[in-house]
A = this chain, B = another copy of it.
Amino acid sequence: MTEPVPTVDMEKLVSLCQRRGFIFQSSDIYGGLNSCWDYGPLGVELKRNIKEAWWRANVQERDDMVGLDTSILMHPNVWEASGHLTGFSDPLVECKQCHLRWRADQLEGDRCPSCGGELTEPRQFNMMFKTFMGPVEEDAAVVYLRPETAQGIFVNFDNVVNTTRKRLPFGIAQIGKAFRNEITTGNFIFRSREFEQMEIEFFVKPGMDKEWFEYWVQERLNWYSRLGIRRENLQLRPHGEDELAHYASMCSDIEYLFPMGWSELEGIANRGDFDLRQHVEHSGKNLEYYDDVTNEHYLPYVIEPSAGVDRSALAFLCDAYTEEPDKDEIRVLLKLHPDLAPVKVAVLPLSRKENLTAFARAIYADLRQHLITSYDDTQSIGRRYRRQDEVGTPYCVTVDFASLEDNRVTIRERDTMNQIRVPIGALRDTLQAKLAGEDLFVLPEGGEVWKEG
């Protein structure tokens, strides 16, 4: 058995992302803001699609889950209770010579990796971003940008139980920004100080937690697979006793084979009743759940599948990135799952001749009411195919002069470059069926197949 290798190197991917409008550096014209990123016109649609797929699978298609959208600024007591104020820190050392700062636990030697200078003793550096709320900068006004969306869920557990009357087991899901003032960042959008989380807190009866932990590990693995990530590029890594976070009794990372190697894509933790118990103690509120089947009161245990939107985007992009020899060139394509592709269909008239344009525009106007569709009439048809390949558009619809005669157009498939010719009346249904995963080679009446090139 051979070890899998990363599908793409980071430099290539970053270049494609910037060139084609997936991801730009934040505040680019001012030299960039370290480790913050802006999603461009294609990136924002990819990100929307990832979040939509997650929400659909985890909230809307489930009976046992509701959503929440809590604020980024939260009461400081929340972070005291959660342990973040005291515990959410990394050991920081500074070089006495060049004054660069480093994470002590990531250094191999005991001298500065940059200049070889002597380092200070490590001190704990809290990773929460702090700001002041209200018109005064004083300790009483300090609030923090949340370092995780999870606590917004815990402090609303009681509100949700009371207003939805959900019974255990059930979960609360949330998508939103979180902020961590990391000492070291890097690997493109993999580790940034501002990022977006997709978190579930799944509340179960104590004793049922191990079972649900296993369930969620599998469920989350399946989610990535269903959206096209190859199973061999995913692995499970259970945490050892020594690396468990203070709140967790079990934790497994779903790792993806990123360009820099196997790294965490998502963590699934068994948080027990740690968080609810802390909030009971600090708020004085009774957050026990009343189980009307067994007539018991207890604090539920919590299984937390915690995913990153940005890391997911990076993994989907990496896994989709493909280079193929094609005649004398290399064809670059993103084999994105149709649900994730920013653009579903591109309409390409063979030339800019007026009658062809009008015809193609009419097709485009119809399709875009139902599917995210783009229109491109510049340069050669081959160049335009390549351009759509590179951003992951699953289907191109080519309109040629014969179309004006026979009312048929060509559908060209991204991954295989297969082409089929279909009557315009069947075009939309055919595309929708193909995008929903039905067989490419089921042809509508009057259709025919051939191969590009």
Residue pair B69, A36 in contact (C-beta under 8 Å): no
Q: A159 near B40 (CB under 8 angstroms)?
A: yes
Question: What is the bound-complex CA distance between A48 and B152, given in angstroms?
Answer: 18
Q: Contact between B68 and A44 (Cβ–Cβ < 8 Å)?
A: yes
Write the A268-298 contact mask toward B (1 if CB under 8 angstroms, else 0): 0000000000010011010100000000000
Q: Is the CB of B145 within 8 A of A33?
A: no
Q: Knowing A133-B181, A181-B133, A183-B135 touch, does A368 contact B61 (C-beta < 8 A)?
A: yes
Smallest CB-CB A-B distances: 8 pairs: A21-B163, A27-B75, A41-B66, A38-B70, A39-B69, A36-B71, A29-B283, A44-B69
- In the complex, whether A238 has a CB less than 8 A from a CB of chain B is no
**Among candidates B34, B71, B92, B282, residue contacting A38 with C-beta atoms closer than 8 Å:** B71
Per-residue CB contact flags for chain A residues 26-61 toward chain B (1 = under 8 Å, else 0) read 111111111011111101110110000001000011
Which range holds the interface residue count of chain A? 35 or more
- The segment from A124-132, A248-256, A432-440 that touches chain B is A124-132
Point out residues on A near B: beta carbons under 8 Å.
Answer: 18-21, 24, 26-34, 36-41, 43-45, 47-48, 55, 60-61, 63, 66-75, 77-78, 92, 101, 125, 129-136, 143, 145, 152, 155-156, 158-160, 163-165, 172, 177, 179, 181, 183, 193-194, 279, 282-283, 285, 287, 368-369, 372, 375, 378
CA distance A408 to B440 in the complex (A): 37
Contact in complex: A156, B40 (CB < 8 Å): yes
Chain B residues near A156: list those with CB within 8 A.
24, 28, 38, 40
User: Are B73 and A38 touching (Cβ within 8 A)?
Assistant: no
Selected from B21, B30, B38, B71, the residue in CB contact (under 8 A) with A152 is B38
Q: Are B40 and A75 in contact (CB under 8 A)?
A: no
Closest B residue to A55 by CB, please name it.
B48
Interface pair A68/B92, CB less than 8 Å apart = no
Between A and B, 19 residue pairs with Cβ closer than 8 Å are A18-B163, A24-B156, A26-B74, A26-B75, A27-B74, A29-B279, A29-B283, A30-B283, A33-B73, A33-B74, A40-B68, A40-B163, A41-B68, A48-B55, A73-B193, A73-B194, A101-B134, A132-B181, A135-B183
Q: How far is the CB of A313 from chain B (nearest CB, A)?
A: 11
Q: Which residues of B contact A129 (CB under 8 A)?
A: 131-133
Contacts of A20 in B (CB 8 A): 163
Bound CA–CA A41/B163 (angstroms): 9
Q: Which residue of B lies closest to A158 (CB)?
A: B29
Q: Is the CB of A181 within 8 A of B134?
A: yes
Q: Which residues of B contact A181 (CB under 8 A)?
A: 132-135
Report B-chain residues with C-beta under 8 Å of the C-beta of A47.
69
What is the CB-to-nearest-CB distance from A373 to chain B, in angstroms, rounded to a whole number?
A: 9
CB neighbours of A155 from chain B (8 A) = 27-30
By the criterion CB–CB under 8 Å, are A41 and B67 in contact? yes
Determine whether the beta carbon of B164 is less than 8 Å from that of A41: yes
Task: Give, as a whole number of angstroms, the nearest-CB distance from A141 to chain B.
Answer: 10
Residue of B nearest to A42 (CB): B163
Tell me, in angstroms, the Cα distance from A368 to B29 when the chains sit together: 47
Q: Which residues of B sit under 8 angstroms from A36, Cβ to Cβ?
A: 71, 73-74
